[in-house]
Amino acid sequence: MQLIKLENIGLSFDQNDWKLFNIDLEIESGSYIGLIGPNGAGKSTLLKVIMGFLKPTEGSIYRAEGLKISYVPQQIGVDLRSNISVKEILLMGLDGTLFQRLKGSLDKQMLEALELVGLSNESLNLQFNLLSGGQKQRVLIARSLISKPNLLLFDEPLSGVDMPSKTKIYELLGEINSNTGVTILFVSHEIESVIKSCKQVLCLNKTIHKGCHPVDFILGESHAERVCKTSCESSKVSIHHHHNN
């Protein structure tokens, strides 16, 4: 089932400075996609277009009927130094309508979300700011799951998390994808981890490219940018790197 289809998407705030151009992308249900590219490539911008936060200058977007999208940003947007509980963080994942509909089973929904990310029931009443970096990210993933979305978008959420915890979280997302069928699009600079964890990898540098291999990005952003600018072609079949888990 197709969840998202972008056709010839372009975005510009200034006609001389296109943030995205000629973007053709299809996201199928059950995919686990890694999105990589140099700084300024438009990765976060593309996520905002997919969510509808930014309206493209040109092109068209198809979103499946009833599509639910959850988003895990780089920064959560609240003061995490305050004495906010894990429960309160999880409740941020519900809009008013969904909150009312689930009111009688909220605790059950929250505990199910915590179980999916490997956290115990006791975590619910802990102070969020006292958790480790890896535990915090698991809570934020649980928050994104509580509304039972079809599509999860992650915008480099693992900055400040130690490498062993990052590796476990990448593995966790693979398990969530396999066990629940939720579709995942993950933006990251952890190239080697993305290649190992994702089923498919997408290279972006303002447009989607083929002809470059994700390993180009391991060699450094300047190398990757040069490869994408000089030897890649934009592609309607956007996802070019495949492997079996």
What is the CATH number for 61?
3.40.50.300
**In-domain check, residue 90:** yes
Comparing C-alpha atoms, which of 34, 1, 33, 37 is closest to residue 20?
Answer: 37
pLDDT digits (tens, 9 = 90+) for 163-186: 777 778 888 888 889 888 999 998
Is residue 171 a part of any domain in this protein? Answer: no
Q: Are both 212 and 94 inside the same structural domain?
A: no
Is residue 98 situated within a structural domain?
A: yes
Whether 45 is covered by a domain: the verdict is no
Domain presence at residue 113: yes
Q: What is the pTM of this model?
A: 0.79
Q: What pLDDT does residue 25 have?
A: 92
The Cα diameter of the chain in Å comes to 57
145 and 205 within one domain: no
Q: Which residues share a beta bridge with 20?
A: 11
Q: For residue 130, name the pLDDT band (cuts at 50, 70, 90).
A: confident
- In angstroms, the CA 149 to CA 139 distance is 16
* Residue 126 is assigned to a structural domain of this protein: yes
Helices 163-180 and 133-145: crossing angle in degrees, nearest 10, is 20
**Same-domain status, 157 and 238:** yes
Q: How many domains does the chain have?
A: 2
Inform me whether the pLDDT recorded for 221 exceeds 60. no
In angstroms, the CA 100 to CA 122 distance is 24
Residues 233 and 180 placed together within one structural domain of the fold: yes
Q: Are 145 and 70 in contact (CB under 8 A)?
A: yes
Residues 63 and 155 in one domain: yes
Residues 159 and 245 in one domain: yes
Residues 62 and 180 in one domain: yes
pLDDT digits (tens, 9 = 90+) for 66-101: 999 998 877 665 565 667 888 888 888 776 444 445
Radius of gyration of the chain (CA): 18
Range of the domain at 181: 1-40+50-67+151-166+176-245
Average pLDDT, the chain: 78
> Torsion angle, CA of 101/184/125/111, rounded to 10 degrees?
60
Please tell me whether residues 161 and 232 are part of one structural domain. yes
Whether residue 180 is found in the same domain as residue 63: yes
Q: Quick check: helix, strand or coil at residue 199?
A: coil
